[in-house]
Amino acid sequence: MTSLDDLPLRANLRGQIPYGAPQLHVPVALNVNENTHPIPPAVAADIAQALAAAILTVNRYPDREFTQLRDDLAGYLGHGLTRDNIWAANGSNEVLQQVLQAFGGPGRSLLGFAPTYSMYSILASGTDTRWIAGGRDADYELSPETAARWVRETSPDIVFLCSPNNPTGTPLSLATIEAVYDATDGIVVVDEAYAEFAPAGTESALSLLPGRERLLVSRTMSKAFAFAGVRLGYLAADPAVTDALRLVRLPYHLSALTQAAAVAALAHTGEMLAMVDDIRVQRDRLVAELSALGFNPLRSGSNFVLFGGVTDPHATFEALLAEGILIRDVGIPGHLRVSAGTEAETSAFLAAIARLRPAAE
């Protein structure tokens, strides 16, 4: 049998394992921060109609500039943005990869603040960009002083700020983003994959874009829009940044079907986002009830909660799985992460972990 070691693989990919949480078919899957609510049937019917029309055109390549989609994404984001500020790709993972292809690469470095979204370091090695794991403050918070100090000490070419941060859920202040921007001449990406779940009144990093041509704010339709299976991520930035990304994107990278589905969904933004309030309620409930059970949940501005005080995370993960409940062991000692599901799913998880609690002690 040929193994990877027998192949002339790039040195920095040797020994690596592909990213991916287990995809298990269980009654309650709360492991990858999906929106567990299906999209409303009336909206699904409308999207299906748009797809039916789009399929009649697939003998031709799609609009390489995805113009309508950029218009609609700009309209959704507001903040005075226009299509020239918008870029999109197959999931925000691909957007972030394109950012590294354009601004990273051999001899360049990417700073993130660990623990953070684990794809960042993987995208770095895939593009031969050096990954620098910065640190955080107590409770995984990130103050302007700590963040700016890491930037000054490591002089990265690119900084990724995850806001709110995955896997900790912790929100990030605009002051920290401004401090990082001011401390570097490089590219600063604020990954707002979970922005729609922030408490009401939270300002997005989009408000910082004017006058900051090196600031990029990435978003996704995978979470709040319940569109993970479609693969549509996007970012807002200065038009010069989107021009830079055109240099590395594959021609026609967004299929006609993807574009049609996303445009149709954005025409129903209100209905698509209707579940966000519900999910926030379940998120807050997770924090309150896990705390009452004696765990230490972190504050969360996202649709998931990281909680400490777990004596044996692996055993607790397995015991929940045996009950058909899949959550995430993110490798942080004493901690587990759970996504906020529907009320029924969240209740099932809380009831199960309450039963396990004595055994876990």
Binding site for ligand PMP (CB under 6 A): 33, 91-93, 117, 162, 166, 191, 193, 220, 222, 228, 233
Residue 92 vs 258, nearer CB to ligand PMP? 92
Residue 92 vs 300, nearer CB to ligand PMP? 92
Residue nearest to ligand PMP (CB): 91
Residue 92 vs 101, nearer CB to ligand PMP? 92
Residue 117 vs 307, nearer CB to ligand PMP? 117
Per-residue burial over 218-257, b if 16 or more Cβ lie within 10 Å, else e, is bbbbbbbbbbbebbbbbbbbbeebbebbeeebeeeebbbb
**In the complex, least distance from residue 287 CB atom to ligand PMP, rounded to whole angstroms:** 19
**In the complex, least distance from residue 116 CB atom to ligand PMP, rounded to whole angstroms:** 8
Contacts of 218 (CB under 8 A, 6+ apart): 92, 95, 96, 99, 189, 190, 191, 192, 193, 233, 234, 235
Taking alpha carbons only, the member of 278, 297, 279 closest to residue 288 is: 297
Question: Residues 71, 97: contact at Cβ < 8 Å?
Answer: no
Helix (H, G, I), strand (E, B) or coil at 49: helix
Torsion sign, CA atoms 139, 141, 144, 146: positive
**In the complex, least distance from residue 312 CB atom to ligand PMP, rounded to whole angstroms:** 25
Residue 165 vs 242, nearer CB to ligand PMP? 165
**In the complex, least distance from residue 8 CB atom to ligand PMP, rounded to whole angstroms:** 29
Q: What is the dihedral of CA 24, 26, 30, 34, to 10 degrees?
A: 70
Residue 191 vs 289, nearer CB to ligand PMP? 191
**In the complex, least distance from residue 53 CB atom to ligand PMP, rounded to whole angstroms:** 25
Helix (H, G, I), strand (E, B) or coil at 132: strand
* CA–CA distance, 345 with 349 (Å, rounded to integer): 6
Residue 85 vs 166, nearer CB to ligand PMP? 166
**In the complex, least distance from residue 178 CB atom to ligand PMP, rounded to whole angstroms:** 20
Q: Is the peptide bond before 164 cis (omega within 30 degrees of 0)?
A: yes
**In the complex, least distance from residue 93 CB atom to ligand PMP, rounded to whole angstroms:** 4
* CA–CA distance, 38 with 46 (Å, rounded to integer): 14
